[in-house]
Structure 1
Amino acid sequence: MESQRSILIIALAFVSYLLWQQWHEAYGPQPVQPVSQDMADSVPAGVPSASPVTTANGTDEDVPVAVSDTLPQATASNNTQQSISVKTDTLNVVISLVGGDVIHADLVKFPVTQGSDEPFSLLRANNGLYVAQSGLVGANGPDGSPQGRPLYQAAASSYELTGDTLQVPITWSSNDGISVTKTFIFTRDHNDVKVSYTITNNSGQTAQFQQYAQLKQTTAEQKGGNMFMPTYRGAAFGTADDRYNKYSFGDIEDDPLRENTVGGWVSMLEHYFISAWVPPQSETNSLYSRLVGGQYAIIGYTGEATSVESGKAIELNSTLYLGPKDQDKLEQLARGLDLTVDYGVLWWISKPLFGLLKFLHGLVGNWGLAIILITIIVKGAMYWLTKKQYESMAKMRNLAPKMQQLKDRFGDDRQKMSQAMMELYKKEKVNPMGGCFPLLLQMPIFLALYWVLLESVELRHADFILWITDLSVMDPYFVLPVLTGASMWMLQKLQPTTMTDPMQQKIMQWMPVAMSIFFIWFPAGLVLYWFISNVITLVQAKMIYASMEKRGIK
């Protein structure tokens, strides 16, 4: 029984490894294909018209369409200012005055590599196009004009946050008396930017407008995770009925998004970071997606159509988030936006584990120590299961001679053999699954913690001690994997086996070596958890065996 379980576990691990490897080859990140500025300028704009999305399964006519084939250029002289820069304590952004798009965004508090002075660039106009566009369409919307998108004017070429908030207004006026002030509102210690439109109509007739916002990114594959640390780069959205949906570039190509919802949101994800547009949550918005030019993915929304009488003014608002996947802040912006920190099917275990991990970090101030403490807590809470497991395994080993006698007595009569085994288990009060069941209960916790360590931006560049300066990546000197393998070998020696087949014995002897190699690519924080878990298990095993000896259980 024990040998069968061991072989089954090894087989499942090997098959899982092969499946994971195949998945990574098919869908995993690949090296980036740089996009030049000239290419970026020639990308189809994909600016939506005012056509609403009427049904979740609408036709192409129901979907916003591009009003021009190329990115519109403002009709202005070469001396006309084309962009402005904004610096805050969290963001350095560049806003194009053509359309008022955010074409570059650096995350000031997140270096591209540990110890680097260069901030991580989330949005960029070249080297892999990724921009946040927004504007006004409709019958009188300047972004829906066949002549091209509007050229806004700004009072200055650069702005810097000095107080708690910073407002950056850009203005546009038409020849027929319509004026628009598009204001970007930045707040200290915030990664969300409020985007407000003040529309004044002095045209002498009623004007109609519709707000839109979208994220546009190249679909060219970029360097990212590895086989053991898979990361998702693609789109996601949320609706009133379905809080979180991944929407890959392949989905955008094969099945473009067309859905109406109250509230909702759209986003682009790349491992620890997210860009997201959050429309007014009390209004009905139309979510859409589109593949442009065969190589650029767009996901966005259009808001409700709004009429402005002559002599009147209205204000439209939305929110652009550019930053880390901070669950607490994302949850405040929109329902389900925090689920972009994707813990998978075990989220119901991962979320409490992450909450406990954050609490422990608040006490000790070191994520590595917090991982050690959470391991002690988890293993302590599961001590009774470990005790049951070891006692069951010991009793099964003690039954080995009697099991052999039954085999000799009944030979190939499987029915009588099974009946005799069940009677023996009942007489000796042994549960044959007692050694396997506790292990099955612990595996979901291991997997849940794996996703916590993989997805939580708080662990990015998190220092521990000595050579381990980033718990979210593999140990650079492979010390933890080797120690983990050594602890597994010690556990193996502490637990006698009933295996008699020489091949099975050799496989089990080499398991610690195989697992050490396996753990090389895992995040150092996860390997630390596994190593400390093994050490605690060794201590618990000594205690359990000592207790069993006192009770006469060999």
Structure 2
Amino acid sequence: MESQRNLMLIALLFVSFLLWQAWQDDKAPQPVATQTTVAQTNDVPSHSNSDVPDADSSMPVQLPATQNLIEVKTDQLDIKIDPVGGDIVYAALVDHKVEIDSNDPFVLLEQNGAFNYISQSGLIGRDGIDSSTHGRAHFSAESELYQLADGQDTLSVPLSYVDANGASYTKVFTFTRGQFDVTVDYKVNNTTSAPLQMQMYGQIKQTVQASESSMMMPTYRGAAFSTQSVRYEKYDFEDIAKSNLNQQTLGGWAAMLQHYFVSAWVPPANDSNTIFSSMSAGGQANIGFRGAVHDIAPGAQQTISAQFFVGPKDQKALSDISETLNLVVDYGFLWWLAIPIYKLLMFFQSIVTNWGVAIILITLSVRGILYPLTKAQYTSMAKMRNLQPKLAELKERFGDDRQKMGQAMMELYKKEKVNPMGGCLPILLQMPIFIALYWVLLESYELRHAPFMLWIDDLSVQDPYYVLPLLMGVSMWLMQKMQPMAPTMDPMQVKMMQWMPVIFTVFFLWFPSGLVLYWLVGNLVAITQQKIIYAGLEKKGLK
């Protein structure tokens, strides 16, 4: 019974951690919108965040009467571009639906009166064409609709602009079949007699909203960034409201996260960039980058580029863009354990093509690997139970002399070859694996809308009929009944242990069904292993 009590204690601590985390999210003060600026860097001219045009949530897009949004359709994306500034103001993911039984695509970027989530980019600096004081460049396009045709691998969308001095600018969006990243190129043709100096910026703006996180689904919505010294760090809306980022780095990226999805600006890895953030007066959080300063000689042409990603947290696709961008799939402090679990899960899925079956296979694998330790655990427990009469004799002999009692117990354990801690190691190994798998199931976008069988059509959400949690509770109750109660156990502890299956059944009602499936199968395997091990111990004369 000691093993079961320890297991439930550790699981209870884990659930308590989730409760504390949910309480923190609920009680944390909401961001207060403030108008602030970013400090200057040493190697760039006096271009601060005030140079970056502000698109406050209270200011709708203003288009000339003859201009409409430019729509781009690929096999993965449905994008709308505002010709004023060339900003991406709408992005829908074609193959990712809002609901499992819906034909409507999941919309990640959008702009309306109540909520804005857009991606901006432009050229700022001494000769930049985008400014918070002088307005944005008004681009023109040959068409209002661009579509990736069958058999076409890439699609380019050029937007043209000529400034008052005659210099021409072409902002080109390049889309690739099967990909969610967009290459944004500024092709500058300096037809003037004077040199031009400018730098590119890219930023993501989002109206601050309350978190949709819950106790069992502690998802993160907010900003994140990467620099040379910080591979990955979250910077939530409260952080943005308190202090503006001003991180100068080689390469780096800036992103907004939303559970299974991410939007990110990734400037060139070899350029000196500045990662910045700000909070507008209208309650809109911004995070982005300012790129290196470029000097373009008279009569010269130059291309200034960056990449923008808008899509699911596909680790391979993100790694192809930046070696650290895949870290937005946040597995927490057990990332080193979660990564091999994720790879093993993907391997099983590639064979069985069913995520539920893959979860069952990974459960069997984990239990199989831990079987030698589990056997040692139950053997140690059986030996400890058989030593109870001798331990009782020692207690009567030495009474309250703890020192002599301890020495006698150690001698007895050594003589009988019993390790009193032998029952703890498998439990200590199982809980990190459980927590790591919890984060894998929580963060892996592949499980979103992934069906299992029968009524389970989405392993990333709770069981709609609560069948799996109830079965899990029954299996936990069976495990409890299979292990004898220690005669010396306090009656209050006995009652608590009897109620544990009920308590955990209630907690598991809101767990993702994929995780409950893992726990249920793990319990069933554990029950089978217990019966096999107990039968072997009985043959050896150990009860």
Which bin holds the TM-score, normalised by the shorter protein?
over 0.9
> Partner of 2:79 in structure 1?
93
229-238 vs 285-294, which deviates more? 285-294
**TM-score (normalised: structure 2):** 0.93
Of the three residues 424, 445, 452, the one matched with 1:436 is 424
Asked if 1:64 is matched to 2:62, the reply is: no
The equivalent residue for 1:299 is: 287
C-alpha distance in 2 between matches for 1:343 and 1:509: 33
Contact 2:190 2:296 in 1 (8 A): yes
Gaps of 5+ in 1: 34-42
Separation (CA, whole Å) in 2 of partners of 1:19 and 1:242 = 26
SS of 1:302's partner is strand
Aligned residue identity for 1:250: E
Query: Which of the residues 221, 225, 237 maps onto 2:225?
Result: 237
Unmatched tracts of structure 2, length 5 or more: none
Q: Which residue of 2 aligns with 1:39?
A: none
Could you tell me which residue of structure 2 aligns to residue 421 of structure 1?
A: 409
Kept after mapping to 2: 8 A contact 1:278/1:334: yes
Query: 1:359-508 to 2 correspondence within 5 Å?
Result: 359-500=347-488, 501-508=490-497
What do residues 461-493 of structure 1 show as CA deviations (whole Å, max 9, x unaligned)? 110000001111111111111111111111112
CA distance in 1, matches of 2:487, 2:254: 55
Q: 1:144 aligns with which of 131, 153, 168?
A: 131
Distance 1:515 1:302, change over 3 A: same
Deviations along 1:488-537, one digit per CA (max 9) or x if unpaired, are: 11111211131432221121112111111111111111111111111111
Which residue of structure 1 lines up, in the alignment, with residue 122 of structure 2? 135
CA positional deviation for 1:28:
5.1
User: Which of the residues 301, 319, 343 maps onto 1:355?
Assistant: 343
**1:530 alignment partner AA:** W
Question: Per-residue deviation at 1:356?
Answer: 0.7
> Does the CA-based 8 Å contact 1:133-1:215 persist in structure 2?
yes
- Contact 1:167–1:184 (Cα < 8 Å) also in 2: yes
User: What is the rounded CA distance, in whole Å, between the counterparts of 1:129 and 1:536 in structure 2?
Assistant: 49
1:165 to 150, 154, 162: 154
SS of equivalent to 1:288:
strand
Partner of residue 113 from structure 1, selected from 80, 96, 99: 99
User: Which deviates more, 419-428 or 298-307?
Assistant: 419-428
Quote the Cα distance in structure 2 between the aligned partners of 1:52 and 1:210: 14
Give the match's secondary structure for 2:49: coil
Aligned length in residues: 534
Report the secondary structure of 1:151's partner residue: coil
Bigger mean CA deviation after superposition, 535-544 or 357-366: 535-544
Instruction: Return closer, same or farther for 1:459/1:293 CA change in 2, 3 Å cut-off.
Output: same
Structure possessing the higher relative contact order (Cα contacts under 8 Å, 6 or more residues apart): 2
Deviation at 1:52, TM superposition (A): 5.2
Does structure 2 conserve the Cα–Cα contact (< 8 Å) formed by 1:361 and 1:367?
yes
> Residues of 2 paired with 1:82 and 1:45: CA distance?
31
Contact 1:240 1:263 in 2 (8 A): yes
Q: What secondary structure is seen at the aligned counterpart in 2 of 1:205?
A: coil
Match of 1:326 among 287, 292, 314: 314
Residues 272-297 of structure 1 deviation map (CA, whole Å, 9 limit, x = unaligned): 00000010111111111111116111
Contact 1:105 1:121 in 2 (8 A): yes
1:36 aligns with: none
In 2: Cα distance, 1:75 partner to 1:526 partner = 47
Give the TM-score, by structure 1 length. Answer: 0.91
1:339 has 2:327 as partner: yes
1:202 equivalenced with 2:191 (yes/no): yes
Shift of 1:14: 4.7
State the percentage of identical aligned residues: 49
Structure 1 vs Structure 2 CA RMSD: 2.6
Alpha-carbon distance change, 335 to 521 in structure 1, aligned in 2, over 3 angstroms: same
1:40 corresponding residue in structure 2: none
Cα distance, 1:350 vs. partner? 0.6
Shift of 1:145: 6.7
Displacement after TM superposition at 1:53 (Å): 2.8
